[in-house]
Structure 1
Amino acid sequence: MRPTLPHIHFYRGLKAAVSLALFASSATMHAQMPETGGETVSLDSCRAMAMANNKQLRIQAEQIRAAGYQKKEAFAAYLPQIDFAGGYVYNSNDINILGADQHLPIMNFDGQGYTFDLVTNPATGLPLVVDGKPVPKQVAYLPKSAMSFDMHNVFFGAVTLTQPIFMGGKIVAMNKITGYAEELAKSMHENGAQDIIYAVDAAYWQVVSLNAKKKLAVSYVALLDTLHRNVQAMIDQGVATRSDLLTVDVKLNAANVDLVKVDNGLSLARMALAQVCGLPVNTVFTLEDEDLDEATVSSEIARQYNMEEVYSRRPDLRALELGVDIAGQQKKVAMADMLPKVAVIGAYGFSNPNMFDGFAKRFNGAFSVGATVSIPIWHWGGNYNKYRAAKSEETIMKLRLSDARDMVDLQVSQAAFKAQEACRTYDMTSTNLAKADDNLRTANLAFREGVATTDNVMEAQTAWLKAHSEQIDAMIDVHLCDTYLSKALGTLQYQYQQPK
């Protein structure tokens, strides 16, 4: 099965709508100027306009910036974190440590130790007991108000510093992930730029093709009109019949209809090119290659390529490789949840009222330093299953990368084959073109000498038309296949500066 390319489907679909009778000679292409006015733009200019105005490309540029910010965010996890927390509390009641006034017995030193000084019964000499309790001679009076504190308005705050020491490797893995994510965003941006260039090239060469075919259609109408006048003159001289003139008129009317169709198709193609370039669809400009009559390729087409070099140049494969790297680091993040975590903490806390030097209604605080250790012990296999899921994702990404490389091998082989085929076809059509020109010249000469019929001339004109149209198709096909091959090889050249 012959390989197909997306731009060829689009191009041939429109070609079928225009029909075979719309194509023209390369000589006529030089003789007539494009009907569109305005500024002359080149293919590189169209590419630059498309990349500057494409919204999807601008979105990808913002994604690169966002990935850069996330990379800086991840790096901040290496550094100590300083936080402040504060608050205010209103309490409706004071704090009373004592429920009532207190009388505390006093102890005296008797030379051997401290004993309570109790009231004795004069009759017995024993301690006097009231309600089952001995009665002290002296007591210390502690009023309730002395142990009451005003806690209606409480202000408090703390400044903390946390320095991670070991987080199971999660911080290192997250920094690598964000670094890979930034590179991934750049690769996707580059791949998007190549897709835009390919779309611009397809639209650009479509306009060039239809413009050439419009000129060809005009030339074909002019040939038929000349033949119509010659046949009419022959009828006036009695050497031709009305049937010959009607046959020419049918061809002439059909050619005029086809000219209208190709003119409409060219207008639509110009609108499509303007839209791809990000311009208003009614923008009028002339393409630099509208008078091009020769196909060229950017580089020699090889039969085999060093696929490792191709892999290294392809931004889409680079994106998949980064996806594998990201999946590997995500596996390490999952592993970190099963490892101990150590951090150092320092803090300065303060409050008003404070209890650092009695009860004082003013701000005061103190420093504190410590360390925290967190060791996962048992989570019913949750963390381990999370690790295994991340490992499976890494395997999936590796398989996707391998499959993509196989597809790139096929894509490069098909693109190279199609480019070679396009070049061979172009060479053959160029040869046929010279023969068709000579055949038409011979038929016209024979018709003037009276040794050829009108049908012979129209057959020669049809062959001439077909040869020129095939040559136009082959020329455009060479340019499109060359662009597609460059894209497949990762060597598509364009000027565009990635956002920083």
Structure 2
Amino acid sequence: MKQRILLILLMISVTYSQNQKLTLEGSIELGLQNNKELKIAQSKLRSSEAKISEVNSMFLPQLKLMANYTRLSDNVPPFQVTVPLLPTPIKISDPLLNNYTLRLSIQQPLFMGLKLLSSKKAAEYNFDSAESELNKEINETALNIHNAFWNYYKAEEVKNLLEKSLQQIENHLKDTKNFLDNGLVTRNDYLKLQVQYSNTKLQLIEAKNNLEVARAIFNKTVGLPLEAETEAVADELEIQNDDYDPKKLIIEAKQNRDEIESLTSRLKAAEENITSARSGWFPSVYLSGNYYYSNPNTRFQPLTNEWKNTWDVGVTLSWDIWDWGLTSAKTTQAEELSIQTQLSLDKLTDNIEVEVYQNYLNLVKSKEKVVVSKISVEQASENYRIISEKFKEQLATSTELIDAEVSELQAATNLTSSLIEYKMAIVKMEKSIGRKIY
């Protein structure tokens, strides 16, 4: 019974792997779950969050426990005092060779030259930057999935078109063979169709290979095994009634792009790091306290072999009066990093403007190509229908029929390519202005 259940489960698993149909939405969801780059970005985000916790802990009192044992050598003399007019010294205490100390210390920073506050803000800005980087990586991954999906879908459609064209040529070959047997066409006409059949078959072989390559790329993009049997499923592609204003698109991109948000946060963090570097010019002030439990306790004289406790509280000021330009060098480095980040932000903004405008032009172009391709398909299909009917009536030559078939196939292929190019142009346009494409 168990063997039958295992066999059924295995068959279900194999059947599922052989018939895995994926929509665009399903592909994106699957790809985002399995993408390694996203996992790296998520790890960086968690690291940035941990950095905030690290800096916050520096604002809080630091509690430390220390234990110490010391053994003195046996030749230590007793503690004694020599008094004038007395022949022998007065012994105060015998030497205690074993020393035990427990110390519990607490230290609270009061002022660090704004180092802690600026470090906290810098960590928070770096976290915001990592969060924006994660969002950017998600969008980049989604774009790769879009591209892999539509290339896979296109390869499948091209293969289907070639198979359809091959079937049409086979039908014409049968008709032409009958015409040849009845002396209605020349052998040359029949050979021309055979050559066209062979050429189309070669194209189909190439198309099938391209399909397998596209499938493999798609599978790895969404995190599936290389040879997984998948199928890209999509609704009929149509042109959308969209009307984009390039100026508004550029404004939206500057407001929404994750890359700009990330660099802006980095710039703020760099400015806070300047303040942190300058803290070396200011004193540091700490409030500290200690609790001692020792045997012997050196604060009690004379020393006795007893456990005694004492405590102390104090304020400590530490100020580096001269550090040979260390603070100045750190400050200069922080300032230059801020300048570099600002220039990178300006450069990124310029590049985004060009990217948005270029994607806008590509979208307009691809939309026009779809319109022209649809007209070409209608014309080529009608031309093929007319020539095919004429050929059956022996009013058209095999050359005209072949030309009509080639034109119809090329027009259909161009339409498929144009529709997918248009679809990807929309996706790239949406991504370039900072919209989510997942």
1:405 partner SS: helix
- Return the letter of the residue paired with 2:413: S
Match of 1:222 among 167, 170, 173: 167
Question: Does 401-410 or 67-76 show the bigger shift?
Answer: 67-76
**Which residue does the alignment assign to 2:391?**
447
SS at match of 2:329: helix
**8 Å Cα contact 1:429/1:467 also seen in 2:** yes
SS in 2 for 1:418: helix
- SS of residue matched to 2:103: strand
The more displaced of 380-389 and 231-240 is 380-389
Specify which of 341, 346, 353 is matched with residue 289 of structure 2.
346
CA contact (8 A) 1:173 1:329 kept: yes
1:38 pairs with 9, 13, 19, which one?
19
Sort the Cα spacing of 1:94 and 1:159 in 2 relative to 1 into closer, same or farther, 3 A.
farther
The residue that corresponds to 2:437 in the other structure is 493
Q: Which residue of 2 aligns with 1:72?
A: 53
Matching residue of 1:282: 227
The one of 366, 380, 383 aligned to 2:310: 366
Distance in 1 of aligned mates of 2:237 and 2:83: 118
Q: Alignment partner for residue 170 of structure 1, among 115, 125, 128?
A: 115
Q: Give the whole-Å Cα distance in 1 for the aligned partners of 2:82 and 2:175.
A: 139
Evaluate the alpha carbon distance shift between residue 148 and residue 270 of structure 1 in structure 2; reply closer, same or farther with a 3 A threshold.
same
Once the 2 structures are TM-superposed, how far is the Cα of residue 104 of structure 1 from its aligned partner? 4.2
What SS does the corresponding residue of 2:40 show, helix, strand or coil? Answer: helix
Structure-1 separation of matches of 2:251 and 2:106: 50
What letter matches 1:195 in structure 2?
E
User: Do the aligned partners of residues 76 and 443 (structure 1) sit closer, same or farther apart at CA in structure 2, a change above 3 Å counting?
Assistant: same
Query: Could you say which structure has the larger radius of gyration?
Result: 1
Pairwise CA distance, 1:285? 2.9
Question: 2:40 maps to what in 1?
Answer: 59
The AA in structure 2 aligned to 1:59 is I
TM-superposed CA distance for 1:313, in Å, is 1.1
1:90-141: CA deviations, max 9, x gaps?
Answer: 1222532569x96742xxxxxxxxxxxxxxxxxxxxxxxxxxxxxxxxx464
1:252 has 2:197 as partner: yes
Deviations 1:54-88 (A, max 9, x none): 12211221222222121112111111111111211
1:332 partnered with 2:275:
yes
Distance 1:255 1:197 in 2: 35
Higher normalized helix content (fraction of residues): 2
Kept in 1, the 8 Å contact 2:93–2:304? The answer is no
> How far apart are residue 49 of structure 1 and its match?
0.6
* Shift of residue 215, structure 1, vs aligned partner: 0.8
8 Å contact from structure 2 (residues 249, 356) kept in 1:
no
Residue 312 of structure 1: how far off its partner (Å): 2.3
Corresponding position: 1:427 with 2:367: no
Which residue in the other structure is 1:188 paired with? 133
Q: How many residues align?
A: 421
Name which of 39, 49, 54 aligns with 2:30. Answer: 49
In structure 2, how many angstroms separate the alpha carbons of the residues matched to 1:443 and 1:84?
97
Seen in structure 2, the aligned counterparts of structure 1 residues 310 and 98 have a Cα distance that, compared at 3 Å, is closer
CA distance in 2, matches of 1:446, 1:165: 98
Tell me which residue corresponds to 1:92. 73
Secondary structure at 1:337's aligned position in 2? helix
User: Is structure 2 residue 363 aligned with structure 1 residue 382?
Assistant: no
* Residue 347 (structure 2) pairs with residue 403 (structure 1): yes
* CA RMSD after TM alignment: 2.0
- List gaps (5 residues or longer) in structure 1: 1-35, 106-138, 495-500
Could you tell me which runs of 5 or more consecutive residues in structure 2 were left unpaired when the two chains were aligned.
1-16
Q: Alpha-carbon deviation of 1:433?
A: 0.8
User: Is 1:295 aligned with 2:238?
Assistant: yes
Q: Could you tell me the TM-score, scaled by structure 1's length?
A: 0.80
1:270 paired with 2:251, answer no
Amino acid at match of 2:109: P
Q: Percent of aligned positions with the same letter in both sequences?
A: 21
Residues in 1 aligned to 2:241 and 2:370: alpha-carbon distance in whole angstroms: 16
> Which residue in the other structure is 1:126 paired with?
none
Aligned to 1:23: none
362-371 or 46-55: which moved more? 362-371
Report the Cα offset of residue 473 of structure 1.
0.6
Q: Is the 8 A contact 1:94 1:148 kept in 2?
A: no
Counterparts in 2 of 1:165 and 1:298: CA distance versus 1, 3 Å: farther
